[in-house]
Amino acid sequence: MKLYHCDYGGVNGETVLLLHGLLGSSRNWGTVGKRLAKHFHAIGIDLRNHGKSPHAPEMNYQVMADDIAGWMNAHDMDQAHLVGHSMGGKTAMLLACLQPNRVKTLTVADIAPKSYPPLFQDAFEGMLQTDPGRFRRKSEVEQALADYVNDPQLRRFLVTNLVPNESGTLKWQINLDAINRSLPLIGDNPLQQPMKFEGPVQFLCGSESDFVNPEDRSIILQHFPQSRIIEVPGAGHNVHIDNRTFFAEQIVGFIKEA
């Protein structure tokens, strides 16, 4: 699968691949990508069924990890530093365990190697029930989603997945049906015992998020014995957006230390 990528540029040498979370895309990394590009070559990748990447009926962590390895092969890239948020973090964790020689360092943003209940169920119901072809402005779709999604910040995030269609109205850019069918797999833990990555790993977790808890430390260390866990102050689940400066600084320092 030929994944879409956004190249933020940067100096030659160390390459950092940025993997987004569920319903996100490479656009989520804009500010962080530009900051990392001052030190490394930073690239954001759209995972399958997201952003501008191709659609496919199958969606699980094995195929997504294979997609990233295939992208690296297509770009003659033997190794890279991986940064993954949420779903992208689980994808990066699995790739690091399966192909450790491809991963120089691993940064996981606000997710643990464990199973979670399906996320965004109300949001998916709203998106499936709302026909964006009836609207010409994202704000109109956002208002229609209010019947299903109470959180205005989440509604604003959801409509970033809208693009114009040929008639001038809107359509979902994501493969909504395939992602919705795959929600149980996306919630699953992709790592099995005795999967392990011995390289340098950091988990950057939001101080206001409950996605990674103190009791998760033991399972993290089982799979990533060289890992460190750092709290991102003032950040919820979207740590790379809520505190971009701290988040980027941690990645820069971590890679330079490795």
Looking at 5, 39, 223, 237, which residue is catalytic?
237
148: tokens are 């299903």
Q: Is 237 a catalytic residue?
A: yes
What is the rounded distance in angstroms from the CA atom of residue 127 to the CA atom of residue 111?
24
SS3 14: coil
Looking at 177, 188, 216, 227, which residue is catalytic?
177
User: Residue 107: which residues within 8 A CB-CB, separation 6 or more?
Assistant: 81, 82, 83, 84, 201, 202, 203, 204, 250, 251, 254
Cα Rg of the chain, angstroms: 18
What is the rounded distance in angstroms from the CA atom of residue 188 to the CA atom of residue 201?
21
| CA-based nearest residue to 131, from 83, 86, 170 | 170
Q: Is 177 a catalytic residue?
A: yes
What is the rounded distance in angstroms from the CA atom of residue 245 to the CA atom of residue 248?
5
Q: How many other C-beta atoms lie within 10 A of the C-beta of residue 199?
A: 16
Q: Is 151 a catalytic residue?
A: no
Looking at 25, 26, 53, 86, which residue is catalytic?
86
CA–chain centroid gap for 52, Å, is: 14
Active site members: 86, 177, 237
